[in-house]
Amino acid sequence: MVKSNTGYLGVSEPISLGGPTEKDVVQTAEVEKFLADAGLYESQEEAVSREEVLGKLDQTVKTWIKKATRVSGYGEQFVQEANAKIFTFGSYRLGVHGPGADIDTLCVGPRHATRNDYFFRCLHDMLAEMPEVSELHPVPDAHVPVLGFKLCGVSIDLLYANLAHVVIPDDLDLSQDSILHNVDEQAVRSLNGCRVTDQILRLVPNIPSFRTTLRFMRYWGKRRGVYSNVMGFLGGINWAILVARICQLYPNASPSMLISRFFRVYSQWKWPNPVTLCHIEEGPLGLPVWDPRRNFRDRGHQMPIITPAYPCMNSSYNVSTSTRYVMVQEFTRGYEICQAIDENRATWDDLFEPYPFFELYKNYLEVGITARNEDDLRNWKGWVESRLRTLVLKFERYTHEMLLAHPHPRDFSDGSRPLHSFYFMGLWRKQTAQPQEAEQFDIRGIVNEFKNAVLAYAHRREGMDIEVSHVKRKDIPLFVFPGGVRPPRSSRTVARSSRTVSRNVVTADGQVGNQLGAESWSDPQSALDHSGGYQSTSLLVPSVSSKETQSILNGHSNLHTESLEHEHPGHFLGSTSAPANIAVLDVVTQPNSMPSTSSNGAPTNGLDICFNSLHREAERIPANNPVNFSPAVVDELDELASYQAKPDDKHVLPVHGTSLEGCSGRTVGQTCNLSSHGNNHLKRKAEEELEPLELAGPPVGATRASTSTVQRKPLRLRLSTVPQPKQAK
């Protein structure tokens, strides 16, 4: 795609056509030096090595396709004409990969070379016999089937799509929509990796500036713990689309300007308004595209980032309410630091301080897994990681988003226990408009349901096991800290520097209002008060009013992935007693900066319209096209909201009479509210009848008591949104 006839790229006019000042040029040089010093660019030798590896892979698949064609019974002449072609996509194709990064590749073959019979069997066997190939790991049943391996030490993720072509031409163009004709759903997903990557490069006005900015933002996301698609944060393609949209809004800006504008825009973006690089078109093949007015599940997406190639889909369907809150906090923090950098009160290094995950919450869930050998552990880890986000969704759904979870994006290993891996989640109770006393949430059913789903792994082997336990902040194991040393308490409560950043007050409608004045800024751990909780002046998150988009409680999965409705969502809420042999978490709570989902603090029912419908009545927008924004922008901040697509709501399904996931088909208002009666009943059952699973280990040195003579007490985690006043002596 080239520039539209309006002269700009994207669905709206640019916010600013201004170019860089002398100060911006200097700051851009600082950014490039920072990236180079951080080792984010590969050497020339490694670049040449990657090209050689891709050449060897191309020759391998060409040999494989001829063998597959011969086995299929075709004549020798046809065998000689048989061809398969390798394409790259992802960070390598975008030109933002770093040293040691894997290469995302796609193999395109003819129609007779099927995925299961030839790609995952014949090609797999060929690769297994090659001495240059190691760590061969096929995943045929994944959402996007992939063959992972290392070729000459370079990690390769190889996808496959067999087209309707009899012979694959050497000049095959994947950008044409006709390439998707008569291919299955897995092939469409596989092809879209390349199609989306190429379309992004066509839709940005300045590719070098785009690449520098994207490289910066990817590194920032990893340092701040918000780079992980599988954990419910953002992956590579999500960051690429977000950066590309900023490049469209500021086409002449330098990378340093784009970085600052990135944080400014997305700290104020009114999710779930979608981020799009081009208009969403129906397309000629009738494939489903992202459309919350027609597709019920699309309405549940928390942070829609739409791919620009047909069929346009939401690339961030894994994002939950919990992870969205965390990311908006981080965008706000980044915006404040960029303001301080402009005023010479901070440096680029301040943006990249590691996220103090194990210092921000009072209570954590520890998910420990084990296996009998390295191969089993690698497979087991991949499966468990893919399921962890469902645990977050279950917390949100079964507590009506009052209990939220922040998953750490990576796993940890304990050197004293080989073949073990650990994952952690911080737990907190969402802040509401009305301060409430500590409340109990019975999550035994949630934990049990999650464990049962994980243990149902189709390829599970003996020795693959999982345990879920509760860990207080003071008891976090030492192996999670750098060097195995717990940071001293003083370092978490004393401000690191006297630099200041102006903070903004967030008004009721989520817009940034007048400045409150300068407050001292430091590491996030300095925002912790003496009791270990958040201060009220912690990083700001735009609140959401009833007039704006409502958070979707039901935590639906995307149309293109497994849905939680297949995991018996009504089993926990609809049952009169909680399942036995599971844990009780009584409630934890944390960041006071987390906003309420609605203006009155009451739970929503999950069927609220996803988009702000306060646009002019005269505007009638086609079903799949975001609105075109024509007014010239004078003040970037004041006009930012007008650049968020607001599709017409005339196609939104009515609320009344629609059944909800997780409510066993009952209508809205019947069983979707977690009533105090039902909650008290569950707690009473837990305390009087059921023997809960001990989530916390016994004290060190304690004598192990017999379960037949000693009654175990349920775990209690107190969650309150405000600190309790101390009693006067």
* Measured distance CA(536)–CA(593) in Å, rounded: 6
Interval 406-410 mean pLDDT: 95
The string of pLDDT tens digits covering residues 699-712 is 333 333 333 333 33
Least confident of 67-81, 454-468, 480-494, 628-642: 628-642
Q: In this structure, are 137 and 185 located in the same domain?
A: yes
Q: In this structure, are 292 and 229 located in the same domain?
A: yes
User: Of 330, 354, 378, which marks where a domain is finished?
Assistant: 354
Asked if the structure places residue 568 within a domain, the reply is no
* Measured distance CA(266)–CA(245) in Å, rounded: 11
Interval 130-135 mean pLDDT: 94
The string of pLDDT tens digits covering residues 340-369 is 999 999 999 999 999 999 999 988 999 999
Query: And the tokens for 509?
Result: 């409608």
Query: And the tokens for 30?
Result: 């600082």
Q: In this structure, are 350 and 372 located in the same domain?
A: no
Domain at 395, CATH number:
3.30.70.590
Q: In this structure, are 194 and 57 located in the same domain?
A: yes
Interval 679-685 mean pLDDT: 39
Q: In this structure, are 51 and 195 located in the same domain?
A: yes
SS3 643: helix
Q: Confidence band (pLDDT; 50, 70, 90) for 284?
A: confident
DSSP string spanning 513-550? EEEEEEEE---GGGGB-TTSSB-TTSS------TTSPP
Q: In this structure, are 29 and 104 located in the same domain?
A: no
pLDDT, position 439? 67
Asked if the structure places residue 16 within a domain, the reply is yes
Q: Confidence band (pLDDT; 50, 70, 90) for 419?
A: very high
pLDDT, position 427? 92
Residue 665: is its pLDDT beyond 60?
A: no
Residue 194: is its pLDDT beyond 90?
A: yes
Q: In this structure, are 362 and 293 located in the same domain?
A: no
Residue 625: is its pLDDT beyond 90?
A: no
Residue 208: is its pLDDT beyond 70?
A: yes
Asked if the structure places residue 566 within a domain, the reply is no
Tokens 């330098």 correspond to what residue? 254
Q: In this structure, are 51 and 198 located in the same domain?
A: yes
Q: What percent of the chain has pLDDT over 70?
A: 65
User: Of 153, 186, 203, which marks where a domain is finished?
Assistant: 203
Residue 466: is its pLDDT beyond 50?
A: yes
Q: Confidence band (pLDDT; 50, 70, 90) for 286?
A: confident
* Measured distance CA(38)–CA(317) in Å, rounded: 31
Least confident of 69-83, 124-138, 148-162, 497-511: 497-511
Q: Confidence band (pLDDT; 50, 70, 90) for 640?
A: low
User: Regarding predicted confidence, which is higher, 700 or 385?
Assistant: 385
Interval 43-69 mean pLDDT: 94
Residue 153: is its pLDDT beyond 50?
A: yes
Q: In this structure, are 14 and 76 located in the same domain?
A: no
* Measured distance CA(23)–CA(511) in Å, rounded: 29
Asked if the structure places residue 608 within a domain, the reply is no
Quick one: CA dihedral 362, 452, 685, 570, positive or negative? Answer: positive
Q: In this structure, are 156 and 174 located in the same domain?
A: yes
The string of pLDDT tens digits covering residues 211-244 is 999 999 999 999 999 999 999 999 999 999 999 9
User: Regarding predicted confidence, which is higher, 656 or 475?
Assistant: 475
With beta carbons less than 8 A apart as the criterion, state whether 406 and 490 touch.
no
With beta carbons less than 8 A apart as the criterion, state whether 364 and 473 touch.
yes
Q: In this structure, are 413 and 330 located in the same domain?
A: no
* Measured distance CA(26)–CA(29) in Å, rounded: 5
Tokens 């990311």 correspond to what residue? 327
User: Of 148, 168, 203, which marks where a domain is finished?
Assistant: 203
Query: And the tokens for 499?
Result: 């630099």
* Measured distance CA(164)–CA(184) in Å, rounded: 10
Q: Residues in the chain, how many?
A: 729
Residue 531: is its pLDDT beyond 80?
A: no
Q: Which residues pair with 518 in a beta bridge?
A: 502
> Which range among 8-17, 523-532, 692-701 has the greatest average pLDDT?
8-17
Asked if the structure places residue 76 within a domain, the reply is yes
Asked if the structure places residue 294 within a domain, the reply is yes
Q: In this structure, are 192 and 52 located in the same domain?
A: yes
Interval 469-487 mean pLDDT: 90
Domain at 322, CATH number:
1.10.1410.10
Give the structural domain span for 475.
357-432+439-484
The string of pLDDT tens digits covering residues 288-320 is 999 999 998 899 999 999 999 999 999 999 999
* Measured distance CA(71)–CA(114) in Å, rounded: 12
Asked if the structure places residue 474 within a domain, the reply is yes
Q: Confidence band (pLDDT; 50, 70, 90) for 605?
A: very low
Q: Which residues pair with 370 in a beta bridge?
A: 420, 465
Quick one: CA dihedral 288, 292, 293, 296, positive or negative? Answer: positive
Domains identified in the chain, total number: 3
Helix ranges, 204-235 (H): 207-223
Domain at 110, CATH number:
3.30.460.10
Which helix (H) or strand (E) is 321 found in, with range? helix 321-342
Residue 527: is its pLDDT beyond 60?
A: no
Q: What percent of the chain has pLDDT over 90?
A: 54
Spatial CA neighbour of 173 closest among 281, 309, 78: 309
Asked if the structure places residue 504 within a domain, the reply is no
Mean pLDDT of the chain: 73
pLDDT, position 436? 61
The string of pLDDT tens digits covering residues 563-578 is 333 333 333 333 333 3
